[in-house]
Structure 1
């Protein structure tokens, strides 16, 4: 088609807090494999990890509901129009932009609703089925979002979902023979850009990791609390408890059934051998029947228990609050601006380094290094002389950054002083003459 597609990456990040200041709702933290008191933020990023927006949810209704109720209305207001109405009307398979998410967004009804709104979805296949024959995969040279060249073994088929929606299924074959399946409702783009866009989703995970380490993403901004809206619905704690008991009992029952199936009599049929065997079978059968009765009783109780309750209807010991979001939203905005500015500088300096993966380390070193500020009211300038770093190979990169910043002719805030960035010259002390000793 030759059109520029907008790939927007959506993922949830669970911010874990101490929980001593206020009683927060519990969320499952995947990176710690624990259920902790926290809040969930849904971030929208670009392919290179640059953040666009963030939606905070004290009570997490799930990614699909957040996309449809919160993220999508904001994107429709803020995103530029890549496709006009006439093109959409003439081509029923054309889309406006693409949402790239992980397996949490897998839902055939959700894909169909997004297709009706002319929004393409790209995610991992939750139920990929059997492997495809390796003869279907062909090597393709691809260019990643970072500019790196690599080769991927790809294959494509059409796939019909459970609701009758046809999607594109693309699989990547690894060197060890593992097949990664992705599905999408983008019917117009080539296969290679879709594969690159899906596997670039790790840029968002890298963004979370980097911002936790260097931008204080999980840092508590303030200790103010506010009540949760009484109309918000949450899972009934009693329903969750019954569901947990059913799952536990069902697991024990499955193990008993497996053990019962393995009980066989291999010895000769004699009274002294048969009686112990029948006794074991009888005991196992009684345990199975007891668990079946227990599971049936628990399911009846769960059926009579409401699945969801409003916050106001929760028992007093289950009540919780949420952290104030006013300061948090302001700080998150500053962090997004700072990260986008750092990414722009990283893209500028990456070409000058022999190891491009060190560019953000170089930028952090520049930010923390000392500098001389020399104001000149007559010339209307403010000269910023950057000190040298320990690594002399960084000097070329620093000089290029200074030249680029000087070309913007930026004025220092609240003054008329134009900022000039320079790199201090290295001082090399003169070498002392070494006396020559003449041998006879």
Structure 2
């Protein structure tokens, strides 16, 4: 016995002994915990053996001793925390909590608490009816919960109950998956990455020109890479990319890959981080093909060939217009409130896409690069949330004022009625004449005031507040006044509303900035909020450059520019610079001549006589006459230079890059961006994720690239069962997202399969 105790001590404390430890007991049903412990639990209770010796015993109802045993095994490090917790059927965090309770309160702290709610439920019939009514107004789950005084989980539970789900509070969820209300606990055993569905017959028919396109076909499979991309389908359907493409292009020529497969492949690659066609080489074609319902995804040459065919129809701009109509017609993020008569809040800005190739492309000043570069200009329209809605390719060198005038008819077509639209833009669109034109056309202006202005009286400043759609309140110190802007030399003015703010400066002082608008229906706080939200469009440009290849050259084809197009004459600008230089020299020469003549007319000290000869006068004024002659010549040269010239005379052989392929790529990536943004918004509003405000986009990107199972065992349904995430809070949040996406009853494009989303429970890690 003494030798056994020394051996046990050596096993516990790490001392080497010559005698081997005793074997574990040979008892049927014993669960081995690590290398030294075995656990036996039956109807009579439980017993723990350490190196074959009985160490702890408890009766069946003795929960306290059972927890005490688990804690002591962890304290003496008989096995890892994860192994002990798994053997006792709890999470490692539960075992950690038991250890804390034992240290703080003794054995009494291990007594189990009463299960269930500690008080009466707050979800009374009146409260649930109020929750349903508030949710119907469009408020987020968080805002509804704050309004009625319950948690977001309670709000979601109330909505499920009112929808007739049949689940009552306290009903346990299935133990195998979360994010599903199915009563089935057992899952079908799916093969891990089996061979894709054989499509060789359809490929042979496609080569013979006998197949219009291959329909998606899914086989049961487990641990499928990129299965998280299925989460994008409900949000992608809302963008209208697939439906508008079918209405615009009809279908691709007969072949294996159809229009839906091509567009889904492009969107999935963009969401997975490879938006360009070349990115297809960085995916396993079979892995991406499983998400498409095909045996393999298309290759780079196939993608380019089919996109070129679509671009050859010249209908890419029609597709973007159709998607914009769907977005602003059915989207909830357009910013129109109805009460103020606004149909939408839109932001317009130009974007310069630099070109680094060898073709002769016109130069444009790049604000980001700070100098002129060969580039293509684009004019983008975004909604109130900064999501891209519409884009057109602008003429090289076109000003934002001209682009705004050109956009108004298209925007009116997209809106579809005569309601007013609030259009925000920066100082690049400053033009009082444009403001008047937009107001008369039914568009309200929102922009910053440009130029030197007089400060507003401090007594006019009050507090302006606004609460956004997420329930976040903001306030500013502002003055609400009006100002008259001159329209030209005729003396006519255009009256606009001016919202002024006091902002700090770098030196520690303050200054005033002014917002101009033609709308009178919006409160001053909302006007300030809408003007500040214009930066969301700039955020899209930056984000899309990094994640969606906004500035990439998706096609290298080019065409000759219109040689008859009128463009600004750069010689006119140079001539004006010569005029300015001549005026400066003339002023300096005049000052020098005046000084010389004054000195000549001033008598010497002690003398009253002054003599100025013609020769001296001519010598003093000769530089002035030369400068005056040069100024007249410069002014004549400036007046003789035409303001605009033919492009063919100025830059013969200038080219423009292909526009249709780029517009088509923009449409696909706009849909991908709006899909990702919608998923992030759903994480923020329909889950209890604690850091959703900061990490919603990150969690959405993580979910889209996760793995999971494809289950086709239920007729009429396509169940996507995602693998758990590294953290429990992320797994829970995606489970709530899955529940919300399942409620949309989205069908996989080209099939009658209704998508259902689930996520597996997170299993304890052996390293916890």
In the alignment, structure 2 segments of 5+ residues that lack a partner are: 1-337, 488-492, 596-603, 606-620
Residue 429 of structure 1: how far off its partner (Å): 5.0
User: CA offset at residue 289 of structure 1?
Assistant: 8.0
Q: Is the 8 A contact 2:722 2:759 kept in 1?
A: yes
1:217 corresponds in structure 2 to: 550
Structure-2 change in CA distance of 1:139 and 1:322 (3 Å): same
Post-superposition shift, 1:142?
Answer: 1.9
Look up the match of 1:169: 498
1:25 aligns with 2:359: no
Name the residue aligned to 2:399: 62
Instruction: Give the match for residue 332 of structure 1.
Output: 666
1:41 to 370, 378, 381: 378
Rg (Cα) greater in structure: 2
TM-score for the superposition, normalised by structure 2:
0.47
Deviation at 1:295, TM superposition (A): 5.1
Q: By how many angstroms is 1:365 displaced?
A: 2.0
User: Structure 1 residue 133 and structure 2 residue 457: aligned?
Assistant: yes
The higher relative CO (CA closer than 8 Å, separation ≥ 6) is in 2
Aligned to 1:297: 633
The answer for the alignment partner of 2:756 in structure 1 is 420
Specify whether residues 82 and 113 from structure 1 end up closer, same or farther in structure 2 by C-alpha distance, changes over 3 A only.
closer
The answer to whether residue 534 in structure 2 is matched with residue 196 in structure 1 is: no
Find the counterpart in structure 1 of residue 414 from structure 2: 78
Preserved CA contact (<8 Å) 2:728 2:762: no
RMSD: 3.2
Query: Is 1:152 aligned to residue 466 of structure 2?
Result: no
Counterpart in the other structure of 1:344: 678
SS at match of 1:231: coil
Cα shift at 1:186: 1.5
Alpha-carbon separation, structure 1, partners of 2:443 and 2:719: 49
Distance 2:745 2:500 in 1: 49
Which runs of no fewer than 5 residues in structure 1 stay unpaired?
84-95, 264-269, 272-284, 433-440
Cα distance in structure 2, aligned partners of 1:100 and 1:143: 19
Return closer, same or farther for 1:179/1:384 CA change in 2, 3 Å cut-off.
Answer: same
When residues 340 and 298 of structure 1 are mapped into structure 2, their CA distance, relative to the original with a 3 A threshold, is same
* Gap change, CA 1:145 and 1:242, over 3 Å in 2: farther
Q: Are residue 399 (structure 1) and residue 755 (structure 2) matched?
A: no
- Whether the aligned pair in 1 keeps the contact of 2:382 and 2:390 (CA below 8 Å) is yes
Is the CA contact 1:48–1:145 (under 8 Å) kept in the aligned structure 2?
no
- Equivalences for 1:256-275 in 2 at 5 Å? none
Change over 3 Å in CA distance of 1:336–1:220 after alignment to 2? same
Question: In structure 2, the residue corresponding to 1:226 is in which secondary structure?
Answer: strand
Shift of 1:288: 8.6
Q: Distance in 2 between matches of 1:102 and 1:217?
A: 21
User: CA 1:97 to 1:289, structure 2 compared with 1: closer, same or farther past 3 Å?
Assistant: farther
* Distance in 2 (alpha carbons) for counterparts of 1:128 and 1:355: 42
TM-score (norm 1): 0.80
Q: Which residue of structure 2 aligns with residue 277 of structure 1?
A: none
| Equivalent position SS for 1:393 | helix
Please say if residues 235 and 308 of structure 1, whose CA atoms lie closer than 8 Å, have aligned partners that are also in contact. Answer: yes
For 2:587 and 2:638, locate their aligned partners in 1 and report how far apart those are by CA, in whole Å: 23
Q: Distance in 1 between matches of 2:564 and 2:469?
A: 43
Aligned pair count?
395
Residues of 2 paired with 1:23 and 1:356: CA distance?
Answer: 46
**Aligned with 2:437 (options 109, 113, 121):** 113
Q: Is the 8 A contact 1:160 1:166 kept in 2?
A: yes
Q: For the structure 1 residues 35 and 195, does the alpha-carbon distance in structure 2 shift closer, same or farther, using more than 3 Å as the test? A: same
Structure 1 CA distance, aligned partners of 2:727 and 2:461? Answer: 45
Could you tell me whether the CA contact under 8 Å between 2:709 and 2:723 is conserved in 1? no
Q: Are the structure 2 counterparts of residues 241 and 389 from structure 1 closer, same or farther at C-alpha, using a change threshold of 3 Å?
A: farther
Q: Residues 225 and 315 from structure 1, CA distance in 2 versus in 1: closer, same or farther, beyond 3 angstroms?
A: closer
How many angstroms does 1:44 deviate by?
Answer: 0.7
User: Is 2:515 the partner of 1:186?
Assistant: no
Which residue pairs with 1:234 in the alignment?
567
More strand by share: 1
Matched residue SS, 2:340: coil
Distance 1:113 1:206 in 2: 29
Q: 1:49 to 1:429 in 2, by over 3 A?
A: closer
How far is the alpha carbon of 1:165 from its aligned partner? 1.1
